[in-house]
Amino acid sequence: MLRTVQLLGGLTAMAFNADAAFPDCVSGPLANNGVCDASLDPLTRARALIGEFTVGEKLNNTGSTSRGIPRLGVPPYTWWQEALHGVALSPGVNFSAAGDYSYATSFPQPILMGAAFDDDLIQAVATVISTEARSFSNVGRAGLDFWTPNINPFRDPRWGRGQETPGEDSFHLSSYVRALIDGLQGGYDPKYKRIIATCKHFVGYDMESWNGNYRYQWDAPISMQDMVEYYMPPFRSCARDSNVGAFMCSYNSVNGVPTCADPWLLNDVLRKHWGWTNEEQWVTSDCDAVQNVFLPHEWAKTREEAAALSLIAGTDVNCGTYYQNHLPAAYAQGLINDTILDKALIRQYSSLVRLGYFDRPENQPYRALNFTNVSTPHAEQLAYRAAVEGIVLLKNEGMLPLDLSGNRTIALVGDWANATEQMQGNYFGQPPFLHSPLYAAQQLTTVYYVNGPGQGDPTTDNWLPVWSTAAKADIIIYVGGIDNSVESEGMDRVSIAWTGAQLDVIGQLAEYGKPMAVVQMGGGQIDSTPIKDNPNISSLLWAGYPGQDGGTAIFDIITGNAAPAGRLPVTQYPASYIAQVPMTDMTLRPGPTSPGRTYKWYNGREVYPFGYGLHYTNFTASIDEESFGPRRNMSFSISSLFSSCNASSNKPQYIDRCPFVTLSVNVRNTGNQASDYVALLFSSGEFGPRPYPLKSLVAYTRAHNISAGGLQTVGLNLTLGSLARVDDRGNTVLYPGDYSLMLDLQPLATANFTLTGKAVVLDYWPQPPANRKPVGVPGLPEGYFTGGFGSTTGPEQKPVGVKT
Amino acid sequence: MLRTVQLLGGLTAMAFNADAAFPDCVSGPLANNGVCDASLDPLTRARALIGEFTVGEKLNNTGSTSRGIPRLGVPPYTWWQEALHGVALSPGVNFSAAGDYSYATSFPQPILMGAAFDDDLIQAVATVISTEARSFSNVGRAGLDFWTPNINPFRDPRWGRGQETPGEDSFHLSSYVRALIDGLQGGYDPKYKRIIATCKHFVGYDMESWNGNYRYQWDAPISMQDMVEYYMPPFRSCARDSNVGAFMCSYNSVNGVPTCADPWLLNDVLRKHWGWTNEEQWVTSDCDAVQNVFLPHEWAKTREEAAALSLIAGTDVNCGTYYQNHLPAAYAQGLINDTILDKALIRQYSSLVRLGYFDRPENQPYRALNFTNVSTPHAEQLAYRAAVEGIVLLKNEGMLPLDLSGNRTIALVGDWANATEQMQGNYFGQPPFLHSPLYAAQQLTTVYYVNGPGQGDPTTDNWLPVWSTAAKADIIIYVGGIDNSVESEGMDRVSIAWTGAQLDVIGQLAEYGKPMAVVQMGGGQIDSTPIKDNPNISSLLWAGYPGQDGGTAIFDIITGNAAPAGRLPVTQYPASYIAQVPMTDMTLRPGPTSPGRTYKWYNGREVYPFGYGLHYTNFTASIDEESFGPRRNMSFSISSLFSSCNASSNKPQYIDRCPFVTLSVNVRNTGNQASDYVALLFSSGEFGPRPYPLKSLVAYTRAHNISAGGLQTVGLNLTLGSLARVDDRGNTVLYPGDYSLMLDLQPLATANFTLTGKAVVLDYWPQPPANRKPVGVPGLPEGYFTGGFGSTTGPEQKPVGVKT
């Protein structure tokens, strides 16, 4: 018999935030409860509230659809709003059909914003998003916690959700996410948070479905070295360096343990090791990841145990209803108690306290926001600028910037030519407008438009109009690539070549011998070798998912009204890459069955490398020799670096943050057009454990609008942490050795220095317990859910990297 | 420059059959052309017509959207209607929005009709379909060629289109398709064909997308033994034994050669070897498979060559526009000439002659059909009966037939509980009604209905109402499984376990301890071990995609208003099966890296075997000993079997059709309920090349409505061909040895006999040319399109069976 059914039989229907209000702390039942006393600290206030809950009321409020407690005047609350690149459609967000609150600013997808390499831009974008979120919240159209960012590194080019991330590099992501959270939450520890950001998916989540392995079931095998070096840094940045309000544990398990039921991960690493000990912070499960702890992970032998283990491990909010279904029986069985329940509830409600949820609105600046603060001219301009800054020029043999004088006409061809919703990727809201490439082109000249051949099935049905269109125009621009029909949540790509019959159409268009450019759209890179190598195609741009004003941004770049300066935030691998490494191989370093992952380790020849991007002008650069000190000493003793850091009045809390040097870099625009310039600084050298990465990004910044012939000086900060390597136990270590620094891909400037003395551990990594195994679910055949690789009869089908 | 563009620049827009009419042979421009002279033979008539075409007009009419020739009064014609299980939405079919012609009968998907093992039923269903198709055609709402059946054997349980086939067994499919084509076309060689059927996809097409291999690019490696034994028989049945009007070549290549450009396949095998030499028969490409000959197959080095090679190989119709695009330049380059073009066009138009297209309607019975012949009571009853006959009872521990006396209430749970469109699978039309399981149950008693947990993402959002619903009912019936959201065209399954969180919900429902049945829906089998083994779940039915009256059929079976007698047309493998064999492994026999495929070869333990199906009654059976002759001689000399066949006045054209014996089987219903009984006859024994199949289906028939205690005698025909085996060159051989015959799975009756003398070849298989290789497309990197397995760095990722 299901005890849960009887216990929960009297539940009322779900409520939505649209109907929600802030609690009435003046004349409601809570008025005299401590939670309404703004003079108390948030934890005390939350405890006072929870103290009034019956056990049933506690159990009723453990899911993402928190039912509230009418008796106490606690309103229902939906823990689940999305804002990946603008306030987005989600359970807790409610756009109106028309008029006020019917739209919010829609920025580019993070993958394109990542290509801007501009943390200030990201901070500004995030500030707009949190402002608009608050405006929606103030009229009951949104809650206050937003389940963004997705900050898993974009490990494999197939990943359908790579578009949601800023790219493949962990250092880049760590820096980006700090700026983002600052903008979303309103600083490191503000009195009132603007909103709560939620770093997801913790951890090792970067595959939807590959060859029978799917995200709900997949057990990611990750070495401690890869874990700390690659998978963890963005999350450490969230927790330790950005004080993010919430985390989300992921669907997958890691090294055998479902993340939502892993106390090592959620307690030892996240809370203890990273000092994320503020009880106003909580962890939510990914949606129904607690159910997955039971099935398909079979981590627990009963449903009650799955729920209890997750709650105890530190999953404070259950997206879904599994807690509400099964914690009552778990409670009755003694698997949890009030102390455990209270901890989760106190975290939830104290976080609401920190959002001013229980405070009078009068003194809260964010409570004054309304629709006049949404989609402002500033916000619209920022959405445009974010797209412009991200777009990457990959090939240009002189056609661009495009000269349209003499009324030259354009044949605009491709699936994306009239893109509207496509430009938003996934997790989008309702934008104020969607300016397609076609719209933008039509503002400039006569355009002959024809939809492309499609990305899925090859079909020649609509090809005949393509030829007649191409024949009559002066210039051919093809805007295509991929979109969420081939890369999306739940769907990884099975090919990283151009999809469908696009290459055939592009090849035929090129045969016209007219000036021709291709705009490659989509989040994951596709192998553009045939376009790169086709002498009849002059130019190639990558424009990701550029958001509401994407068409304008693309055509402003094409015509030179804006200067391209974006850089690829991921490697563009050859199409054959995915045959060389199973998606389930989580290792970064190359090996007998993998050419390695990311620009740091990939030992093959990429089509376009990470960090690649052309300009309409040329740059030179030099590193100020005094950056390393007035005596230009290029040798440093590790011990003295530490002692001087420790002696500093500004001594950082974590020693990896100790400053090393700030490189002063002089960038000169030697061409004829003003342009931004992204300064990417890489280190390389033979220090620390073998093998050595080819190079590592250690600092970046974006200089804006360097005038033709002009000079700008930018500073690139290096810390001891940015020079460190990770050993095989996951310890972060500063090693002696010869270090090389290179500015840009074909280095515009270099600097070499030496660290001497003994290696020093900057961070001792907490080791996970050994031998953690799922218990299995009675009645299920062994390996029932293990998909493609639950049991194999020979080594031939066994992919590298699957747990053994 | 694209020559094609200039040549085709003046094309008019596409026309649809909705606007089409039959040609006016009385007062139109054609009236005096030989094509309108009904006294001439079809070929002469078609030649007379083509004789009037200019080269441009010929080239304009090579695609599936045939533009016709206004000058000559040749109407446009769309070669592309679908009718997989009823007249279906497709380019050439146009349903009206309401009223007449707004619907047509929607039968179950073939996978469920296959489970009926009733060729008479199939013939009757096909006759209704062709009748309704003609009715639509007569008012310009459909053409006369229909691209059905999909008769590739259902080789791998993952295949998303397995639902479109009658199952996994080639003998079964060959028999089924003969009945089907007879019904669709109106006999073997009628004066007027009812419609043209199109056997697809020739050949080796049974994978959509697996681990980076996708149907447009996949090169299926098939041994000649597997080819003739498994992949070819249904197509031989179509061409040689059923005189089907059309074939479709497939997307994939086979042993290196794209099927649409393979003269060995389309000419040597199909036309010459199988005697499909009637010039009124044509081959169409799958849609844009000719484009695929260029890319991604890279079989030709230019587009013109790809089109020319396909046309020359015998692809007479190009679904798509590649012929229309590129044959003009191919013609200009001398790659094709008028003789080659004319052959294709003559085949097309002479086939229309055989449909009465150019004849006066008065003397054609099919031209008199109208909407009164659509969705008749007979057709509706047949759609219901087809569903009832197919449904398979897999488990029954006494709950069924369900006793609803005392107003017992039902909790009806699951994604399929209120299924409407789902019941049609894919390639469906607009049905007159869709009677869901919920609808059917509500005719019987009080039903508490709640939608299920979904098949894709596990989500507990809607679980709470499930429990309250289950709590208040007397009986729980779960109707779920899979549908076209997880198995479909373009999408193979990555798991053959129950999807999403269904097993968790089913498990929780079972804990109520109420009488509970599960109805497993969908075309591919899912591993139902947890349901089979759960003592709290009394019964399990499989109901496929049951069509317009599926809900009624299911509940009539459940309540005993109809008796279950369907048999599984495929093996239900354990979930782990797909980890044991790559989908790309086309071999049937087990080997070091495969447990084998189909009931003939699979050496593991299936969950439910091919042919499995329970009844509400019991049967005994005996084989009449006189079946083998009055002297009951159980030893036969192979040479005398041949000489007696050759001496027969009824000597068959192909010696594999020589009769061996007709077994007379007496089937007795020893239980209390009238029921159909499917007689499945298997052979086994150690004869012919090793390894030997576990058993082989050699005959089947369905006895109808055997009364309780009653006896029926059925005849099972064995031919020499049904006893033969195939050698490693693809030759079909009758071998001496000891043969065992078994009736049913747990044999109700057996018979043994011996063939003596020398082995005799029944069919010498035409060998393909050696060393056929794609030429590659200039400018593309090697292996650009080869997806997941174009190049591998080690043996670990290489699946068995991929071409080496």
What average pLDDT does the segment A625-647 reach?
Answer: 89
DSSP class of B272: I
Contact flag A788-B5 (C-beta cutoff 8 Å)? no
* Pairwise CA distance, residues A546 & A539, whole Å: 19
Lowest mean pLDDT among A40-49, A338-347, A646-655, B752-761: A646-655
Contact flag A295-B320 (C-beta cutoff 8 Å)? no
> From the CA of B465, how many Å to the nearest CA of chain A?
9
Residues of chain B found within 8 Å of residue A212, distances taken between Cβ atoms: 494-495, 578-579
Q: Judging by DSSP bridges, how do beta strands B635-637 and B619-623 pair with one another?
A: unpaired
DSSP class of A539: E
CA distance readout (Å), B222 to A419, B255, B721:
43, 6, 22
What average pLDDT does the segment B392-420 reach?
Answer: 96
ipTM: 0.90
What average pLDDT does the segment A603-615 reach?
Answer: 98
pLDDT at A251 (0 to 100): 97
Q: Mutate one of A8, A12, A218, A464 to test the B interface: name it (highest B CB count within 10 A).
A: A464
pLDDT at A178 (0 to 100): 98
Contact flag A295-B501 (C-beta cutoff 8 Å)? yes
Lowest mean pLDDT among A145-159, A376-390, B70-84, B790-804: B790-804
* Pairwise CA distance, residues A802 & A800, whole Å: 6
Structure tokens at B275: 């005697």
DSSP class of A201: E
Pick the residue from chain A with its C-alpha nearest to B458: A288
Residues of chain B found within 8 Å of residue A790, distances taken between Cβ atoms: 575-576, 579
* Pairwise CA distance, residues A701 & A724, whole Å: 20
Contact flag B504-A303 (C-beta cutoff 8 Å)? yes
Q: Judging by DSSP bridges, how do beta strands B749-756 and B635-637 pair with one another?
A: parallel
Answer positive or negative: Cα dihedral of A100, A101, A107, A108. negative
Question: Looking up tokens 């031919």, which residue turns up?
Answer: B719
Pick the residue from chain A with its C-alpha nearest to B794: A593
Task: Name which of B497, B579, B788 is nearest A579 (Cβ-Cβ).
Answer: B788
Active-site residue (options: B169, B206, B219, B286) = B286
Amino acid type, A664: S
Contact flag A529-B784 (C-beta cutoff 8 Å)? yes
pLDDT at A462 (0 to 100): 79
Task: Name which of B213, B325, B780 is nearest A460 (Cβ-Cβ).
Answer: B325
Residues of chain A found within 8 Å of residue B595, distances taken between Cβ atoms: 793
* Pairwise CA distance, residues B675 & A637, whole Å: 92
B150-194 pLDDT, tens digit each: 999 999 999 999 999 999 999 999 999 999 999 999 999 999 999
CA distance readout (Å), A598 to A38, A230, B365, B746:
49, 10, 69, 58
Task: Name which of B463, B593, B791 is nearest A797 (Cβ-Cβ).
Answer: B593
Amino acid type, B615: H
Residue A8, H or E segment: helix A3-8
Q: Mutate one of B12, B285, B291 to test the A interface: name it (highest A CB count within 10 A).
A: B291
> From the CA of A509, how many Å to the nearest CA of chain B?
9
User: Is A135 exposed, middle or buried, given 0-12, 13-18 or 19+ CB atoms closer than 10 A?
Assistant: buried
Residues of chain B found within 8 Å of residue A504, distances taken between Cβ atoms: 291, 294-295, 303
Intra-chain end-to-end CA distance of chain B, in Å = 38
> From the CA of B437, how many Å to the nearest CA of chain A?
26
Active-site residue (options: A206, A262, A286, A676) = A286
Intra-chain end-to-end CA distance of chain A, in Å = 38
Pick the residue from chain A with its C-alpha nearest to B527: A784
B115 C-beta neighbours (distance < 10 Å), count: 29
Residues of chain A found within 8 Å of residue B497, distances taken between Cβ atoms: 784-785
Contact flag B580-A292 (C-beta cutoff 8 Å)? no
Task: Name which of A5, A495, A576 is nearest B467 (Cβ-Cβ).
Answer: A5
DSSP class of A421: G
Whole-prediction pTM: 0.93
Lowest mean pLDDT among B6-15, B17-26, B192-201: B6-15
Are residues B298 and B305 in contact, defined by beta-carbon separation less than 8 angstroms? Answer: no
Contact flag B790-A576 (C-beta cutoff 8 Å)? yes
A668-693 pLDDT, tens digit each: 999 999 999 999 999 999 999 999 99
Q: Mutate one of A1, A4, A5 to test the B interface: name it (highest B CB count within 10 A).
A: A5
The 3-state DSSP class for residue A574 equals coil
Pick the residue from chain A with its C-alpha nearest to B5: A467
Phi-psi bin for A526: left (phi > 0), alpha (psi -120 to 50), beta? Answer: beta
Residues of chain B found within 8 Å of residue A287, distances taken between Cβ atoms: 457, 459
Q: What percent of chain B has pLDDT over 70?
A: 95
Contact flag B288-A458 (C-beta cutoff 8 Å)? yes
Q: In degrees to the nearest 10, what's the CA dihedral of B503, B509, B512, B518?
A: -90
Residues of chain B found within 8 Å of residue A579, distances taken between Cβ atoms: 212, 783, 786-792, 797
* Pairwise CA distance, residues A617 & B418, whole Å: 63
Question: b/e map of A431-466 (b: 16 or more CB within 10 Å)?
Answer: bbebbbbbbbbbebbebbbbbbbbbebbbbbebbeb
Average per-residue pLDDT for chain B:
93
Average per-residue pLDDT for chain A:
93
pLDDT at A783 (0 to 100): 77
* Pairwise CA distance, residues A495 & A501, whole Å: 13
Question: b/e map of A281-305 (b: 16 or more CB within 10 Å)?
Answer: bbbbbbbbbbbbbbbbbbbbebbbb
Contact flag A1-B511 (C-beta cutoff 8 Å)? yes
pLDDT at B150 (0 to 100): 98
A206 is catalytic: no
> From the CA of A491, how many Å to the nearest CA of chain B?
11
Structure tokens at B267: 């000419």
Chains A–B, number of C-beta pairs less than 8 Å apart? 252
Contact flag B796-A593 (C-beta cutoff 8 Å)? yes
User: How many CA atoms are closer than 13 Å to the CA of A260, on its beta-carbon side?
Assistant: 38
Are residues B756 and B634 in contact, defined by beta-carbon separation less than 8 angstroms? Answer: no
Task: Name which of B1, B8, B461 is nearest A464 (Cβ-Cβ).
Answer: B8
Contact flag A784-B211 (C-beta cutoff 8 Å)? no
User: Is A28 exposed, middle or buried, given 0-12, 13-18 or 19+ CB atoms closer than 10 A?
Assistant: middle
A769 C-beta neighbours (distance < 10 Å), count: 10
Residues of chain A found within 8 Å of residue B7, distances taken between Cβ atoms: none
pLDDT at A760 (0 to 100): 95
Question: Looking up tokens 């999807």, which residue turns up?
Answer: B499
What average pLDDT does the segment B552-566 reach?
Answer: 98
pLDDT at A797 (0 to 100): 27
pLDDT at A786 (0 to 100): 65
pLDDT at B633 (0 to 100): 83
Contact flag B295-A501 (C-beta cutoff 8 Å)? yes
Residues of chain A found within 8 Å of residue B490, distances taken between Cβ atoms: 456-457
The yes-or-no verdict on residue B788 having pLDDT over 70 is no
Chain Cα centroid distance, residue A378: 24
Are residues B310 and B342 in contact, defined by beta-carbon separation less than 8 angstroms? Answer: no
pLDDT at B787 (0 to 100): 54
What average pLDDT does the segment A457-462 reach?
Answer: 75
Contact flag A5-B501 (C-beta cutoff 8 Å)? no
* Pairwise CA distance, residues B655 & B719, whole Å: 9
Q: Mutate one of B288, B583, B800 to test the A interface: name it (highest A CB count within 10 A).
A: B288
Compute the 3-state secondary structure of chain A and give helix, strand, coil in percent, each to the nearest 5: 30, 20, 50
Answer positive or negative: Cα dihedral of A594, A598, A604, A607. positive
The yes-or-no verdict on residue B17 having pLDDT over 80 is no
B286-337 pLDDT, tens digit each: 999 999 999 999 999 999 999 999 999 999 999 999 999 999 999 999 999 9
Question: b/e map of B343-361 (b: 16 or more CB within 10 Å)?
Answer: bbbbbbbbbbbbbbbbbee
Contact flag B212-A593 (C-beta cutoff 8 Å)? no
More confident position, B589 or B20: B589
Task: Name which of B9, B513, B580 is nearest A793 (Cβ-Cβ).
Answer: B580
Residues of chain A found within 8 Å of residue B4, distances taken between Cβ atoms: 467
A207-256 pLDDT, tens digit each: 999 988 889 999 999 999 999 999 999 999 999 999 999 999 999 999 99
Residues of chain B found within 8 Å of residue A779, distances taken between Cβ atoms: 507, 530, 533-534
Compute the 3-state secondary structure of chain B and give helix, strand, coil in percent, each to the nearest 5: 30, 20, 50
The yes-or-no verdict on residue B394 having pLDDT over 90 is yes
